[in-house]
Structure 1
Amino acid sequence: MSARARHGSLAVGYVAEGGQVAYYAPPRPSVSWPHQIGVLPRQADCFQDRSAVAQLEQAVVGGGTAVLCQVLAGMGGVGKTQLAAHHARTRWQAGNLDLLLWITAATRTAILSAYTQAAAEILGADATDPEQAARAFLAWLEPNPDRPGRRWMIVLDDLADPADLRGLWPPASQLGRTLISTRRRDAALTGPGRHLVPVGLFTPDESAVYLTTTLAAHEREEPADQLAALAADLGHLPLALSQAAAYLIDADLDCAAYRALLADRARTLTDLLPDPSALPDDQPAPVAAAWSLSIDRADRLPPAGLARPLLHLAAVLDPNGIPASVLDNSPALDYLTEYRAPTTGQAYPDQVTTEDAARVLRTLHRLSLIDHTLRNPQQAVRVHQLIQRTTRDTLTPQHHHRLAQAAADALIAAWPDIERDTALAQALCANTDALARHAEDALYQDSGVHPLLFRAGASLGHAGQADAAVHHFQRMVDVTQERLGRDHPDCLESRESLAFWRGEARDRAGAAAAYRELLADRERLLGPEHPDTLAARVGVVFYTAEAGNWADALAASRQLLADHERTLGLDHPATLNVRNVIADLQGNSGDAAGAAVAFEPLFRDFQRAVGPDDSYTLSIQRQLFFWRGMLGDAADAAAAFEPLLQTMRRTLGADHSQVRVTLNNLAYFRGKAGDAAGTATAYEELAAACERMLGPEHPDTLAAKSDFASWQKRTGESSVHQSTDS
């Protein structure tokens, strides 16, 4: 075997001395320093000086650790390559480097090829053996006291797979710096001596500056509010902003017209961005193709074939946060099983598991296609809105329809019967809204409305957001009337829900009128004694009373109770609810004693019929305590409300609307009992709860804050009086 074969391509001869064999490398070629290998991308027009620029210039990080390798990580299109090129170009032009090596690191072969070129140019290595040449080059980068050191920088741009660097990492050297840009977030890319620099989206200010400057360079000017809105439409993604600006200029469109095209769901994103021949800044691909390779790679990673269908589900939900429980329940897993991509030579189990779904989420996170965190399960998954749109654009109408129904089934399966977790309920409502925006047709079928829409509207209302519930059910009424007809059962149910929440939103007259219209239609369609007809009669009676006609409402409610008892029975929940209405009417018409007497057996009957911790039972108990309090000792009433409040918080959740009503009752009776400090505390808690759930400008929030301020002032005055008396 020759010396070259045994010891590598750098050996070209040998001499024997005392039995020892010495191999010689060829003389190094003459290299002029500084030396650059590879071509840096040209700097983008209107390049933005972002926070990542300053981070790349850091020589040390926390604890004084020297920065020898930096990893720019982020989703496709955020500008990682431009940041890497800007940093390398800045150091090169400042004379801080002897060697700059730029590598487009899409494959291991590309990395080896670049190392081989460097070894050939610097060391005279044999380029026919890339592995050996690469090892020689990496060895040359190592600090060596026997030869002068060279200051070097290696940029591995768009690293596709950390495994491609196995055995090819540049060495840790005080003379050298490694810079990697990648969409990957694997643990293998971080560690001692490696500093992660996350690259995110433009800030709103950066987006505005970029669009303004880019358009101004072409003598174009747009209103600032339109530019801000366009940036938000495109999710502040740098690549999308640059391509949208180019499209505006080439198509001679104004910003408002372009935004109208973007809002048209019948158009794909590809239709609204430049074709590949007109991309700005030497960009290699349009936005719509920016993530295709990452999705393909994710689909090949284990468990194979699931990344794309899971991304489908995420693409029709809320980009700002999808609960983990929505993506790993039975309807979601059924969809993943049905649409799992086939892989040659691999057999799959019959059903995708929860563990499979969790692994796929982590895979999508590692490739920067989603953000996935277990620390916030209510918003565990976030995905950029343009990734969502490009994903939806690939679906056929039939597939999109099936996907929307699967997502709706997954959302309702994730909805708890009792909404103790307010953040989860809010996230589920937001995801329902997103799904309705993307696929409303799939939620309104000839067979009826998907129950998800009724569930979401009720959730809004029971959280105290009556105005939002009104808006939600008004949309349902409009759509069902148009698509299903005014007499369809789901249209009638939507009208009933709208009427109820109009009343809760303090539009009593509107609620009464809506219930009267509903009652007429139900009597015509169902007859006078149908349970749905009786329910409409209850609404008419209640909101007639709320509008001020107590005596007529009380008489009508007693006849209504007799009809319920005859048709539904004494213990039917609807019958018990009529008794609730009667007792409430008694109290509000001035008969507090009659109300207290009526609520006592009603409370026992509700406990027996629906359970002690049901929200209706607890509401009846609250009303019983209230009317007892109106008759007797305020201090006793306040004492009764305190354990009830704790029970409600435990069973219904701290932010349930019934908790706020009970807090208000507690504050009232503490005030009547002369407990200024306790009253102030209750109103302070109430104000915080109202602001958290309803917003700072809601009338209930403002009223609670006003009451808190008033009682807090009385607490101070009381303290002064006590001090003076003593």
Structure 2
Amino acid sequence: MADTGNAEAAGDEVVVTGYRGPAEVSGPEFPATVRVSGTGNAMAARGGIANTGYIHTLTVQRMPREPAAWPHQVGVIPAPARAFQHRAEAARLRAAVEGGGTAVLSQVLTGMGGVGKTQLAADYARTAWDEKSVDVLFWVTASAQSSVVSGYAQAGVELCRADPDDPDLAAKQFLAWLAPKHGQRPCRWLVVLDDVADPSDLIVHPDDPGNRYSLWPPASPHGRVLLTTRRRDAALFGDGRRRIEVGLFTPAESAEYLTEALKAQGRTEPADQLAALADDLGHLPLALAQAAAYLIDSGETAVTYRNLLADRDTTLTDLAPDSLPDEQATVLAAAWSLSIDRADTLRPAGLARPMLHLAAMLDANGIPQRVLTGETARAHLAAHRTAGGPTSEPVPVSVSDAVRALRALDRLSLIDHQPDTPHQAVRIHQLIQHATRDTHTPHQNDQAARTAADALVAAWPEIERDTDLAQTLRANAAALTGLAEDVLYESDGVHAVLVRVGASLGVTGQVAAAVEYFQRIAGVAHGRLGPDHPHTLAVRGELANWRGEAGDVVGAAATSAEVLEHMERVLGNDHFATLAARCTVARFRGEAGDAAGAAASLAGLLADQVRVLGDEDPYILAVRGELVRWRWRAGDAAGAMDASAELLEHLVRVRGNDDVITLSTRGNIACFRGEAGDAAGAAAAFAELLTDQVRVLGEDHPDTLTTRHNLACFRGEAGDAAGAAAAFAELLTDRVRVLGENHPSTLTTRGNIACFRGEAGDAAGAADAFAELLADRVQVLGEDHPDTMATRRFVARWRGRAGDAAGAAAAYSELVEHMVRVWGPDHPETLTARGNVAYWRREAGDAAGAAAAHAELLPDRVRVLGVDHPSTLKTRHNVAWCQGEAGDAAGAADAFAELLADRVRVMGEDHPDTIATRRCVAYWRGMQLLMNRLLDEQGQ
């Protein structure tokens, strides 16, 4: 070289100054030092070449460096989180490694964003490195394919002498290096692919068979693979890959985390408030971490944070700390945005996001699939499909499309979709719901709330056979009401879903809860809509109805009368709602004890309904059925039977043999037949009805179960006590399965089983069974419910029949006091209980007291029920009998003769009560002759 100037080079630099012809520079990796003197000085950065003169040709050959020595780490493991919790998933990861870490093993940590998958993987990797159980540890953030290829390429350069200028080739060389090779020293390696966003990212050049390759590490007896992802696609599993679902913190882990994180900064909070905060945050690790940071940064208390979180005007962004903890890159509000975007691209494209918006308005703990795939929900999906932009006409969405939208959300861990549990098929974390609602405009929020409410109503079955489904639907309605109550009380009235919730409580046996619910709804409607709004009046009518069902028939009658007065003034006398209210008033008039008045009111109502609605209106048929019932309860057995037969003929002609009302009317006629004394005929009629109801309604329909109940009752009354007991035992099993243990009908069946236990001779056992039933009815229905009262009556009855007549009389006396307080002194059930007091006084030996009690009861029954009512006739029987037992056989015979004439007129010659009265006439006439003969003998 010509020595014309000075040049200096160091390290990997090459410096050339001055003129130079062809030159070649080589070295072990970078060129050896070259010094060329010439025209001046030049400086080159590391790895570069600088020249201040003319060089014709310069060739630089880079020689690969030596592979890194083991142990070696490629990539940076995230630092441990503050207050890191050693969770069960970490133990499962380590436990899965067999044979000291030499087994073939690939594990996939999957779960929703924010559950701590990365921290679990980091702890696993750090532990393996610290314990020296791996020779090579590779970590890469795998959220994009390019980052995985780049990471593999870097490992190829460091471990395989790969060319850094060809990343694809370097990545392939690293993957090939991971495969075990015969005769070479085995390398124990661990590859961690953190946060894989899409399974397709692990296939490079998928459309180019010549260049296509997989980024999954090869199987090796010495290697381990750990992958974390939010995805649940089938492509990520199989081939020996073990799936570990990462869930939320346990309550204990949440409390410990918050306590430790705050304590490290000198903060303490009450343990109960930290536990409540953890519940509010759904035990999501990411949320807990950011909440702890917010409390530390702001100085706010956990109570304040909880109040802010509950405020519908506060977004999750508002609750983000100024600086994110633990090297986190995303605030909680944005933790799922990328997942939602990706879900929306999955087929059927554009439906995942509107589906999530709908689910965000419902119960996080479980949404029935039928709610989210019904017609209402599908119309919402079609109208708000996000792919492809707005269209002039929404493309219809099928049920299968809606299900696939749920599957798309499930694949991205945004929801848990379990179609094999249809009642709670969709679960979603409450903070994902919160973040989703934060993206709504006020209009979108109201629109989503109305759609959710409509979807719930559409999914609600007309007949609630499934109590679990009913409970889930009520929970979803409650969640929706908590989020958007204002929307459900708009100017057009109370949304139907609110009424369905209360009715559902009632029909599933929670009548006290139904009363409380409708009291609240009526108050809200009164305040928002006004006292005269038709929906306010309708809700008050529902309140009256369930008050009556709960046993407060007096209060129900008063409330329904007030509602009727409002309706007549606001809506007019002929409005359908007014006519319906008149029916309710009449019914509660009867339930309150005035059966004859109820029948008269219904007769007047029926005439007006025929005038306004026409004779064929379905509601008129229901009123005619009510009229028949109250004519029967008023003592007009013949009139009720004739009216029932006429109604049945009309129903068969108009609605057909298989109509629900037709079948129900057949059941009423069978009941009347049995109560008229023909128990065997009633049982036969119910057996025929049962066959038809099973065919038309199904075995588990409530009406079918009721018919089985009545059939068993009349089988027992017809003399087949054993058959009845067996039938009730089978019925109880089915009612528990269909309706639940605490449904009123289930409890009624238990009562019938207890009765037949007593009829079979075990009176003491029957008394004990009724005592147990009483405790359950008090708990479920309350002290004042009619069924609870009836159970008290049966406890007293079987106590007496078990030999404790005095105890039975005392129990009935207490029951009378209870009934007078709840129903009043003139209620038919109160009068019946007074009769039972008299009966058991007589059985206890107090004949005079019994006679006096019967005598006092008779004028009250005549006044309340009328002279021809069966209960009045029965009281006359008891008075006559007591008269005979008091020594007046002639007076008893005459009284029974008068009673016989009235029973023949009212009930007919062949009624069992008529026949019994004939026997009494004969008995006391015989006693009169005997007494006369004794007197004659004494006179002689």
Give your verdict on TM over 0.5: yes
> How far off is 1:157 after superposition?
0.8
| Match in the other structure for 2:397 | 353
Distance 1:465 1:608, change over 3 A: farther
Distance 2:437 2:537 in 1: 33
Matched, 1:99 2:144: no
* 1:51 and 2:88 aligned: yes
Q: What corresponds to 2:525 in structure 1? A: 480
Letter aligned with residue 530 of structure 1: H
Match of 1:4 in 2: none
CA distance change for structure 1 residues 384 and 618 in 2, over 3 Å: closer, same or farther?
A: farther
Q: How far off is 1:677 after superposition?
A: 4.9
**What's the CA shift for 1:307?**
2.1
Report the 3-state secondary structure (helix = DSSP H, G, I; strand = E; otherwise coil) of the residue aligned with 1:57.
helix
Cα distance change of structure 1 residues 303 and 541 upon mapping to structure 2, 3 Å threshold: closer
- TM-score where L is the length of structure 2: 0.67
- The whole-number CA distance in structure 2 between the counterparts of 1:643 and 1:204 is 57
Contact 1:465 1:694 in 2 (8 A): no
Structure 2 residue 178 is matched with structure 1 residue 178: no
What displacement does 1:333 show? 3.2
> Which deviates more, 476-485 or 203-212?
203-212
Q: Structure 1 residues 86 and 670, CA, compared in 2 at 3 Å: closer, same or farther? A: farther
Structure 2 match to 1:491: 536
Aligned pair partner of 2:605 in 552, 560, 567: 560
Q: Does 1:631 align with 2:676?
A: yes
- Structure 2 residue 318 is matched with structure 1 residue 271: yes
Whether the 8 Å CA contact 1:230–1:255 is kept in 2: the answer is yes
Distance 1:507 1:286, change over 3 A: farther
2:619 is matched with which residue: 550, 574, 586?
Answer: 574
2:565 equivalent in structure 1: 520
**Matches for 1:665-676 after TM superposition, within 5 Å:** 665-676=710-721
Aligned pairs for 1:132-143 within 5 A: 132-143=169-180
1:533 equivalent in structure 2: 578
* Residue 167 (structure 2) aligns with: 130
Task: Please list, as runs of the form range in 1=range in 2, the aligned pairs for 1:283-682 lying within 5 A after superposition.
Answer: 283-343=328-388, 350-354=394-398, 355-417=400-462, 424-590=469-635, 592=637, 594-642=639-687, 644-645=689-690, 647-648=692-693, 651-652=696-697, 657-659=702-704, 661-682=706-727
Match of residue 234 from structure 2? 187
- Contact 2:67-2:161 within 8 A present in 1 as well: no
**AA of the residue aligned to 2:125:** A
Question: 2: distance between equivalents of 1:368 and 1:513?
Answer: 54
Offset at residue 373 of structure 1 (A): 3.2
CA distance in structure 1 between the partners assigned to 2:391 and 2:560 by the alignment: 58
160-169 vs 528-537, greater mean Cα deviation: 528-537
Asked if the contact 1:679–1:711 (Cα under 8 Å) also holds between the matched residues in 2, the reply is yes
**1:88 Cα shift?**
1.6
Work out whether residues 157 and 163 of structure 2, in 8 Å CA contact, stay in contact via their aligned partners in 1.
yes
**Could you tell me how far apart the structure 1 residues matched to 2:678 and 2:193 are?**
78
Counterpart secondary structure, 1:181: strand
The structure having more radius of gyration, on CA atoms, is: 2
Cα distance change on mapping 1:59 and 1:581 into 2, 3 Å? closer
Change (3 A) 1:536 1:706: closer
- 2:115 and 2:248 in contact (8 A); partners too: yes
Amino acid of the structure 2 residue aligned with 1:198: E
Greater displacement, 87-96 / 102-111: 87-96
Secondary structure of the 1:235 match is: coil
Partner of 2:117: 80
Corresponding letter in the other structure for 2:312: R
Deviates more, 1:183-192 or 1:250-259: 250-259
- With the length of structure 1 as denominator, give the TM-score of the two structures: 0.85
Q: Does 1:201 align with 2:238?
A: no
Q: Deviations over 1:464-522 (max 9, x none)?
A: 44445444443442332222222122222222222222222333222212101111101
1:661-694 deviation digits (Å, cap 9, x = unpaired): 4454344334434545544455445555665677
Provide the identity percentage: 54
> 1:598 corresponds to which letter in structure 2?
A
Q: Mean alpha-carbon deviation: is it higher for 599-608 or for 141-150?
A: 599-608
Aligned to 2:812: none
Deviations 1:525-564 (Å, cap 9, x if unpaired)? 2333433222222211211221223343333333333433
Which residue matches 1:37? Answer: 74
Q: Distance in 2 between matches of 1:406 and 1:208?
A: 37
The aligned runs of 1:208-247 (5 Å cut-off) are 208-215=255-262, 217=264, 225-247=272-294
SS at match of 1:266: coil
Contact 1:462–1:656, Cα closer than 8 Å, also in 2? no
| Shift, 1:421, TM fit | 5.8
- 1: CA distance between counterparts of 2:693 and 2:268? 57
The answer to whether the 8 Å contact 2:373/2:402 transfers is yes
Partner of 1:147: 184
- CA distance in 2: counterparts of 1:478 and 1:107, whole angstroms: 56
Instruction: Pick closer, same or farther for the CA change 1:256–1:646 going to 2, 3 Å.
Output: farther
- Cα gap change, 1:338/1:237 in structure 2, threshold over 3 Å: closer, same or farther? same
Distance of 2:135 and 2:623 partners within structure 1: 88
What SS does structure 2 have at the residue aligned with 1:360?
helix
1:168 maps to a residue whose letter is L
Cα 1:605/1:458, change in 2 over 3 Å: farther
SS at match of 2:313: coil
Stretches of structure 2 that go unaligned for 5 or more consecutive residues are: 1-28, 31-60, 204-213, 764-940
Q: In the alignment, residue 301 of structure 1 is paired with which amino acid?
A: L
On the 8 A contact 1:269/1:288 being kept in 2, the answer is yes
Q: Is the 8 A contact 1:405 1:442 kept in 2?
A: yes
Q: What is the letter of the counterpart of residue 390 of structure 1?
A: A
Unmatched tracts of structure 1, length 5 or more: 1-10, 13-23, 719-726
The AA in structure 2 aligned to 1:353 is V
Aligned to 1:722: none
CA contact (8 A) 1:80 1:181 kept: yes
| Aligned-partner residue type, residue 140 of structure 1 | W
Amino acid at match of 1:481: H
Q: Is the 8 A contact 1:466 1:504 kept in 2?
A: yes
Q: Matches of 2:300 and 2:733 in 1, distance apart?
A: 47
State the Cα distance separating 1:66 from its structure 2 match: 5.7
Residue 108 (structure 2) pairs with residue 71 (structure 1): yes
Which SS does the other structure have where 1:100 is aligned? strand
Deviation at 1:28, TM superposition (A): 5.6
Is contact 2:383-2:394 (8 Å) kept? no
1:607: how far off? 4.0
Provide, for residues 101-138 of structure 1, a one-character-per-residue CA deviation record: whole Å limited to 9, x for no partner: 11111111111111111111112211121110011111
Instruction: Out of 401-410 and 567-576, give the one that drifted further.
Output: 567-576
Query: Is the Cα–Cα contact under 8 Å of residues 99 and 152 in structure 1 kept in the other structure?
Result: yes
- Is 1:90 the counterpart of 2:127? The answer is yes
**CA contact under 8 A between 2:467 and 2:740: conserved in structure 1?**
no
Q: How far has the Cα of 1:639 moved from its partner? A: 4.6
Q: How does 1:3-18 map to 2 (within 5 A)?
A: none
The offset of 1:172, in angstroms, is 0.6
